[in-house]
Amino acid sequence: MATMNIPANDRRHTPERRQTPLLGRRSTGVSVIDYLAMALMIIGGLNWAAVGLWGIDVVASLFGVATPIARVIYILVGLAALYGIYLVVRMAKVSSKLA
């Protein structure tokens, strides 16, 4: 007579293991604000690379020198860099907890 091995933990009856995301956080622990800050830091870094290599300020070329929109972009990139410092500290705390 053949018997069936029934799994002890049937998936149909197991509660969902994933936690619900909080305020845009994904399962990786990186929020939408983190991605936005990283994108702004990359844009700022590429702009400074263009200034250093070719003497071209891309933001000033696109939006004009010292125009209000260019100043807002520079301020946002600077704020993103400050947030990046916080992000690195937060990542260091998380990695030290895991070690």
Whole-number Å distance between alpha carbons of 94 and 50: 34
Whole-number Å distance between alpha carbons of 27 and 3: 40
Whole-number Å distance between alpha carbons of 48 and 91: 26
Mean pLDDT score of the chain: 83
pLDDT reading at 4 higher than 80 = no
The first and second tokens of residue 35, run together, are: 């991605």
Pick from 83, 77, 74: nearest CA to 34: 83
Whether 50 and 57 have beta carbons less than 8 Å apart is answered as yes
pTM value is 0.68
The first and second tokens of residue 72, run together, are: 């807002």
Mean pLDDT of 62-84: 96
Whole-number Å distance between alpha carbons of 24 and 30: 8
Confidence of residue 18 (pLDDT cuts 50, 70, 90): low
